[in-house]
Chains A and B, each alone.
Chain A
Amino acid sequence: MAAPRAAAAAAASAKQVTRRNFAEAVRELGAHLESCDYVAVAAQKTGAPTGWRRALPVDTAETAYLKAKLAAESFQPLQIAVCPFLLRNSSPSTLVAYPYNFHIFPRDELQLGMPSYSFSCQSSYLSTMANDGFDFNMCIYDGISYLSRVQESFARQKVFTPHLRPLLPSQSTSVADSVFKSRIKSRIMHWRKGYAEPNKKDDGSLVSSFSRLILGGETYGSRPSISIDVCSDQQVQLVLEAANHISDDLVPLVVPDKAGAARTVCVIFTSSKEDKNLLLMDIQQSTEEKFRGFREVIDLLSSSQKPIVSYNCLNDLTMMHSKFLAPLPPNMHEFMCSLKMVFSNVVDVSHLWRQIGPLRKAKNIQAALSYLQRQYFVPIEIKIPEQDGTSGVTKNEQNVLRITKLFAKLSNLLKISPEYQLKSGEQYAAVEEYCNVFYPSCMVEDSDDVDFANEPDTAKAVSTDNIIFLWGFRGKSVKELKSYLPGLHQIFSEDFEVKLLDKTCSALIFRNSDTAMQLLKEISSESPSLNSFFSEGLKAAGFEVYRKVCRLGLWDSDLAEALEGVSSEVAASTLSECNSSQIYWNSSLMLDLKEYLEC
């Protein structure tokens, strides 16, 4: 390994990995994972949901998960940056990072429509990526293929490559079987003799090459092999048994046809024990590449058991789960359980910075970093050992290095120390305390709509009972709504907040849940006091309807359209028994921290 060089984060370059240098990169990464304390992960995707499909301040963990699930299922990661890093709390603390940037592409290697038949792209995302110098050609031509764990096991049933098959305990065999077996046995023995005892007869070279020809001798790679036609699984077993009986240096490989039924058994002769092991490894690897591809990295991360550090975890990890593990389960709880089996500890940096009071409002990594830069003295010496000479820093690796750096600073402030973690068990809880708490990120990194810039900035817990979804107001602004609603019914003269969720629908957040409940009740009973409300074409529904819209996945239409479709069924039946949960309503989500800092 090259000598480490100190580098500023911006100048650092990660190892760019495509399918050309994948095998080598995985070996290196494996070694780095061994020695590191944490692994930072970031993904570059082709888009994110827009409109009301993105996580909104009214979303509970459950609905936010459903939205993340939608995003994970529709969009495609094109790059995954993985950065194992070491933290040493000397002073100044040192951070040694080994960033890798894997280019992946969901190539349909096995022609099964996997890993993804199609994927969505957001043209604005692609534009931004293109402007940042993202190399789409490299990604599409040479990106690493992959299959998820579930897809792999499916593919292994469907696609039939020559494979090894375990020998089953022999059953009672019929006469015909034993005749077949002994005939095969003698054929293989005869053929093997030509290779195993070559200098038995000096003048036998011509004869033996003839006999090879007659006996159907072929080569498997560079090794001699013989193909034996079979017509049933029973016969496969018999051939395997026969080969097993003869010698240890034979490797029987079952070659299936397109439908997966075994057609021939290819018996390969290996010259030594080492040669045999080599062959077995080769067979393993070639199938591995097709069936696992990039997922090998995920499997490595999982088996290393190092804490995963990421930002926007709900989005990135649902994506990783759906692309590399299995289809996403229908609810958040199952997802967390399933994820935990693979990655036991996942740290969301935004959860970490929420532990530091003034940082709570930070909108993104950069904002958090610049705040830390100003307000705290956390010197960190970053070392990124030169990996290879690829120039140009892509956005994605920049992100992963930012996550790394931010985590280093935060863990220093919060006294999370990997050293103790290694020494004694009790301190281990320090990291675990912060693990597996995912925040739905309501903040879009480049939000262009600034509704209100400066309002009280404390997030408060609001019960979903307090929320009313209102639609049918035909493009009125928040301001217009606030002045227009009180004229329609006295309920609206009470204190409430309005937030546009998309062009067609807004959320009203009442201070008092009774008011909201009362409104819903009057709406469902079509009380005459609401006549002017209805005649204006206004509609309203409670959170339960929204929850159902998300659960049913009615993502294709405007929110108003979706609510309208569901509300007629839900309104009457489940109003009384809706289970309320809490959201963290933060009226100042649009606050730009950078701007705040500049004032």
Chain B
Amino acid sequence: MTFLTYGPYTYTGLQSIIHNQAQPPAARLRPSSPATATMQGRLRRLLPAPPPSALLFRSLSSSPPPKGGGDGGSGVPVKQVTRGNLAEALEELRGRVREATFVGLDLEMSGVTSAPWRDTFELDRDDVRYLKLRDSAERFAALQLGVCPFRWDPAKSAFVAHPHNFFIFPRKELSDCPSHEFLCQTTSIDFLAKYQFDFNTCFREGISYLSRAQEEEALQKLNLLHQDQTSASSTTSEGDGDMPLERAADILFTERMKLNFKEWRDVIVSKPDSHLLGNTKCAAGQFQTVFFKMRPAIMLNGFSSHQLQLIEQVLRKNFRDLVYVCTFGEDDTSEKRVVYSDTDEDKILLMKDVQEDLLKSREARVKSAIGIRHVIDLLSSERKLIVGHSCILDIAQVYSKFVGPLPSSIKEFALSIHKIFPHIADTRHLMSVNQAVQKLMKQKSKSLSSAFSFLCPASPSYAMKPSSLSPVKIEVEGDETKSSCFISGAKHEAGYDAYMTGCVFAQLCTYLDIKFDQLSPQDNLATNNKLQKHINLLSPSWNSGTVIDLSSGMERPEPGYMRRYPAPVYDNIVLIWGFMSKVRPKEIKDCICKVFGLGSVISVFSIDSTAVLVQFKKPESVNDFLDLKAVLERTDSAISILHPLSTILEGGQTRAAKYDTYRDICSSSESKYLFADQAEAVCATSENQLQENVDDNLISGVHQSILDGTVLASVNKGDGTKSGSKNEGDADITCQHILDALHDGRALIGRRIRS
């Protein structure tokens, strides 16, 4: 969850690597305060000369691509993994993860929200919030995966971290997979560019992937194909798909091929041994005899696909003992051969052999296409504690890209995530559960980099406030071989962010009074009783004010969350869209208040410039409003023009609906920039008309009641056909209101005439 949460904040503290007595090759990370960080260079000069390994990290940090433009370079070596070194990196990571106490995880994405109105709002209902999350995870691509295993070293009494940064690109690896399309949010891409994200490496060298679901589907398809082909080859249908030979060129070519094959076959048959000597080209003209599965064969090179079709046809029609065989070589290039097989049984045997080879090679291709998912599978199978910062979107992305389509409800999502990653800790949530941390972070942004600079100060000499605890030591280990795939980590690079997250987590654990010293390697940190009650709790969005328990799928309020808006009552909410662009939310509130009474509207929340959510005080106002709107729209009289609601209804494009419609609109796969356009598109698609369920009978009744000066009664929810009964008691709109409104209107007109 990188740009959403800590994008806008300034980065105050820079983590610098200051070498001291550490043994090479480990570069020791010692804390330094934000103030010293900016003087990284100077500090280094003050310290004893660093041994070569640390120097190497420094020199590497300036190697291309230039990272951080001077401010992001942290000096933490982060292993860069692209498709070139995936296999090797994966092997190494396997061991590291096995030894690790916990693993930091972070993802960089091509965007977060596909339209401004898809931002998560505090007053979103949980299902709507999940739909927005799902939309984001499904539409945007994951571009970088940061994985950083942290191993506790009792000898050093410190954590040893191995940050990895994987470049991801959804390349189309299997030919029969649909081409991948993803969305980029302009501001996100620009944001990544600001932090020197290397798009070239990502698009050229990024590692591709197949989700578990895609892999399964691909294998299934293969098996089906295989069955089809084996059954087809046993019952070779004659004359199937014959091409008529119309062009002279085709006829000539076919005849020539017939002769050539015959000649070659005759040679093979008459001198069964001669080809063993590799001495057949004399007779067969242009053909070079090779061997295919112990049988003499000819490679067909340099023919066009049309010609190959003709050849296949010739063989099928004229030669019982020559078989056309197409196989796939190493690099996915097809190789076509004509193989001699003397008996029918042998022919069947040969075809079976070929089919099985084909299946195997295709299976191998599917396996290799799994790519970066191996990393996720590894984390999952090791059942390690995964640590993220504000990580629900990261986790949703991981699910949608590497597991399968996201489930339809947040509960299902939580439970299936729990199956894959049994232990997830969110540092953002952990920060909110500890009083001491709360105090320390008071007024500070909860972004990752801000947490990192406050919780992981760079130097112990910069005495911490007495209240704070002595920080856990964390070292970063580079590779012994010093290969060039290490570059200095920078903020908003997934690998480095994963590292920062892990550091923050380690410090937070000390605040929770977890003693790493007393942790034996067999102990699972996740089941530590001090930590256990805080893990597997993720916030569905940064402003939801709730956490979801992954183990149960239940959502509950987050302690200490300060709401900006009063808790919404969804039954009291009306969604209005499509009003004139000049109408401001304030005016909407005012004119609804004119009709329904001063205190009738609790809040008007604007989704974007074209839509608002109006929360009424009473649930019955929702239907009243919808009915009144329908009436005003269908009556073409002075009342509808002079009515106070005409401000909202002006232009004739205004639509209103209940909150559930908002959910339906959010669940649509359409993505229009403006909410009103989106809503129209969704309505155009779905036949069921939205909330236009007021029948004419009611309208005439209501209309009449307006004209008569009688009372428009509230129409109870779920009882849309009840026409205006004359019940003063529960009326929301009184005659007086309407008359007042008419007076207002008249006054307006009067003024206009005067001026």
Q: Does A202 contact B (CB under 8 A)?
A: no
B203 partner, pick from A76, A127, A141, beta carbons under 8 A: A127
Q: Does A117 contact B (CB under 8 A)?
A: yes
Inter-chain CA distance A117–B111, complex, in Å, is: 10
- Beta-carbon contacts of B112-146 to A below 8 Å, as 1s and 0s? 00111000000000000000000000000100000
Q: Would you call A126 and B203 a contact (CB within 8 A)?
A: yes
Within 8 A of A (CB), among B440-497: none
Q: State how many angstroms separate the Cβ of A294 from the closest Cβ of chain B.
A: 15
Q: Does A106 contact B (CB under 8 A)?
A: yes
Inter-chain CA distance A113–B184, complex, in Å, is: 13
Q: Would you call B199 and A107 a contact (CB within 8 A)?
A: no
Q: Does B510 contact A (CB under 8 A)?
A: no
Q: Would you call B186 and A454 a contact (CB within 8 A)?
A: no
A136 partner, pick from B171, B200, B305, beta carbons under 8 A: B200
Inter-chain CA distance A46–B110, complex, in Å, is: 14
Q: State how many angstroms separate the Cβ of A260 from the closest Cβ of chain B.
A: 13
Inter-chain CA distance A129–B200, complex, in Å, is: 10
Within 8 A of B (CB), among A428-455: 448, 450, 453-454
Interface segment among B23-31, B173-181, B533-541: the answer is: B173-181
Q: State how many angstroms separate the Cβ of A547 from the closest Cβ of chain B.
A: 15
Q: State how many angstroms separate the Cβ of A70 from the closest Cβ of chain B.
A: 12
Q: Would you call A118 and B114 a contact (CB within 8 A)?
A: yes
Q: State how many angstroms separate the Cβ of B421 from the closest Cβ of chain A.
A: 26
| Chain A residues within an 8 Å CB radius of B172 | 123-124, 127
Q: Would you call A136 and B186 a contact (CB within 8 A)?
A: no
A121 partner, pick from B115, B181, B187, beta carbons under 8 A: B181
Q: State how many angstroms separate the Cβ of A478 from the closest Cβ of chain B.
A: 10
Inter-chain CA distance A499–B581, complex, in Å, is: 46
Q: Would you call A552 and B685 a contact (CB within 8 A)?
A: yes
Interface segment among B100-108, B241-249, B521-529: the answer is: B241-249
Q: State how many angstroms separate the Cβ of A142 from the closest Cβ of chain B.
A: 9
Inter-chain CA distance A124–B175, complex, in Å, is: 11
Inter-chain CA distance A120–B170, complex, in Å, is: 13
A106 closest partner in B (C-beta): B186
A551 closest partner in B (C-beta): B684
Q: Would you call A553 and B681 a contact (CB within 8 A)?
A: yes
| Chain B residues within an 8 Å CB radius of A116 | 186
Given contacts A137-B200, A140-B199, A454-B306, contact A122 B685 (CB under 8 A): no
Given contacts A556-B670, A569-B687, A595-B306, contact A131 B204 (CB under 8 A): yes
| Chain A residues within an 8 Å CB radius of B43 | none
Q: Does B39 contact A (CB under 8 A)?
A: no
Q: Does A599 contact B (CB under 8 A)?
A: yes
Given contacts A108-B187, A136-B199, A141-B193, contact A454 B247 (CB under 8 A): yes
Inter-chain CA distance A107–B190, complex, in Å, is: 7
B169 closest partner in A (C-beta): A123
Inter-chain CA distance A454–B245, complex, in Å, is: 10
| Chain B residues within an 8 Å CB radius of A487 | none
Q: Does A47 contact B (CB under 8 A)?
A: yes
Q: Does A229 contact B (CB under 8 A)?
A: no
A49 closest partner in B (C-beta): B181
Interface residues on B, range: 35 or more
B182 partner, pick from A107, A123, A127, A129, beta carbons under 8 A: A123
Inter-chain CA distance A137–B304, complex, in Å, is: 39
B309 closest partner in A (C-beta): A453
State how many residues of chain A have any CB contact under 8 Å with chain B.
44
Q: Does A35 contact B (CB under 8 A)?
A: no
- Beta-carbon contacts of B226-253 to A below 8 Å, as 1s and 0s? 0000000000000001010011011000
Q: Does A248 contact B (CB under 8 A)?
A: no
Q: Would you call A129 and B181 a contact (CB within 8 A)?
A: no
Inter-chain CA distance A46–B681, complex, in Å, is: 25
| Chain B residues within an 8 Å CB radius of A113 | 116, 673
| Chain A residues within an 8 Å CB radius of B307 | 599
Q: Does B65 contact A (CB under 8 A)?
A: yes
Given contacts A140-B189, A454-B243, contact A599 B306 (CB under 8 A): yes
Q: Does A522 contact B (CB under 8 A)?
A: no
Q: Does B198 contact A (CB under 8 A)?
A: yes
Inter-chain CA distance A487–B162, complex, in Å, is: 66
Inter-chain CA distance A121–B179, complex, in Å, is: 10
A479 partner, pick from B110, B181, B241, B673, beta carbons under 8 A: B241
Inter-chain CA distance A76–B182, complex, in Å, is: 12
Q: Would you call B185 and A122 a contact (CB within 8 A)?
A: no
Q: Does B704 contact A (CB under 8 A)?
A: no
Q: Does A213 contact B (CB under 8 A)?
A: no
Given contacts A137-B199, A140-B193, contact A453 B684 (CB under 8 A): no
Q: Would you call A127 and B171 a contact (CB within 8 A)?
A: yes
Within 8 A of A (CB), among B185-219: 185-187, 189-190, 193, 198-200, 202-204
| Chain B residues within an 8 Å CB radius of A121 | 110, 141, 181-184
| Chain B residues within an 8 Å CB radius of A76 | 184
Q: State how many angstroms separate the Cβ of A254 from the closest Cβ of chain B.
A: 22
Q: Would you call A123 and B170 a contact (CB within 8 A)?
A: yes
Q: Would you call A140 and B190 a contact (CB within 8 A)?
A: yes
Given contacts A130-B203, A552-B684, contact A119 B182 (CB under 8 A): no
Q: State how many angstroms separate the Cβ of A82 from the closest Cβ of chain B.
A: 23
Within 8 A of B (CB), among A118-156: 118-124, 126-127, 129-131, 135-137, 140-141
Given contacts A130-B203, A136-B200, A553-B681, contact A47 B305 (CB under 8 A): no
Q: Would you call B200 and A130 a contact (CB within 8 A)?
A: yes
Q: Does A598 contact B (CB under 8 A)?
A: yes
| Chain A residues within an 8 Å CB radius of B681 | 553
B190 partner, pick from A108, A553, A568, A595, beta carbons under 8 A: A108
Inter-chain CA distance A124–B171, complex, in Å, is: 6
Q: Quick one: which of B175, B181, B243, B247 has the most chain A CB within 10 A?
A: B181
Q: State how many angstroms separate the Cβ of B111 from the closest Cβ of chain A.
A: 6
Q: Does A565 contact B (CB under 8 A)?
A: yes
Q: State how many angstroms separate the Cβ of B631 from the closest Cβ of chain A.
A: 27
Q: Quick one: which of B110, B183, B193, B305 has the most chain A CB within 10 A?
A: B193
| Chain A residues within an 8 Å CB radius of B190 | 105, 107-108, 140
Q: Quick one: which of A119, A120, A137, A553 has the most chain B CB within 10 A?
A: A137
Q: Does B669 contact A (CB under 8 A)?
A: yes
Q: Would you call B673 and A117 a contact (CB within 8 A)?
A: yes
Q: Does A554 contact B (CB under 8 A)?
A: yes
Inter-chain CA distance A129–B114, complex, in Å, is: 24
Given contacts A126-B203, A556-B669, contact A50 B179 (CB under 8 A): yes
Inter-chain CA distance A598–B307, complex, in Å, is: 11
B306 partner, pick from A107, A453, A569, beta carbons under 8 A: A453
Inter-chain CA distance A76–B178, complex, in Å, is: 20
Q: State how many angstroms separate the Cβ of A301 from the closest Cβ of chain B.
A: 24
Inter-chain CA distance A116–B188, complex, in Å, is: 12
| Chain B residues within an 8 Å CB radius of A554 | 685
| Chain A residues within an 8 Å CB radius of B115 | 117-118
B198 partner, pick from A46, A126, A137, beta carbons under 8 A: A137
Q: Would you call A450 and B685 a contact (CB within 8 A)?
A: no
Within 8 A of A (CB), among B235-280: 241, 243, 246-247, 249-250
- List 10 interface pairs A-B (beta carbons < 8 Å), by A numbering: A107-B190, A117-B115, A118-B671, A124-B171, A127-B203, A129-B203, A130-B203, A454-B243, A454-B247, A595-B305
14 new A-B contacts, CB < 8 A, other than A105-B190, A107-B190, A121-B181, are: A47-B181, A76-B184, A108-B186, A108-B190, A118-B183, A122-B179, A127-B169, A127-B203, A136-B202, A140-B189, A450-B305, A552-B685, A556-B669, A568-B687
Binding site for A on B (CB under 8 A): 65, 110-111, 114-116, 141, 169-172, 175, 178-187, 189-190, 193, 198-200, 202-204, 241, 243, 246-247, 249-250, 304-307, 309, 669-671, 673, 681, 684-685, 687
Binding site for B on A (CB under 8 A): 46-47, 50-51, 76, 105-108, 113, 116-124, 126-127, 129-131, 135-137, 140-141, 448, 450, 453-454, 479, 552-554, 556, 565, 568-569, 595, 598-599
By Cβ-Cβ distance, the 9 closest A-B pairs, closest first, are: A136-B199, A123-B180, A130-B204, A130-B203, A453-B306, A118-B185, A123-B170, A140-B193, A124-B179
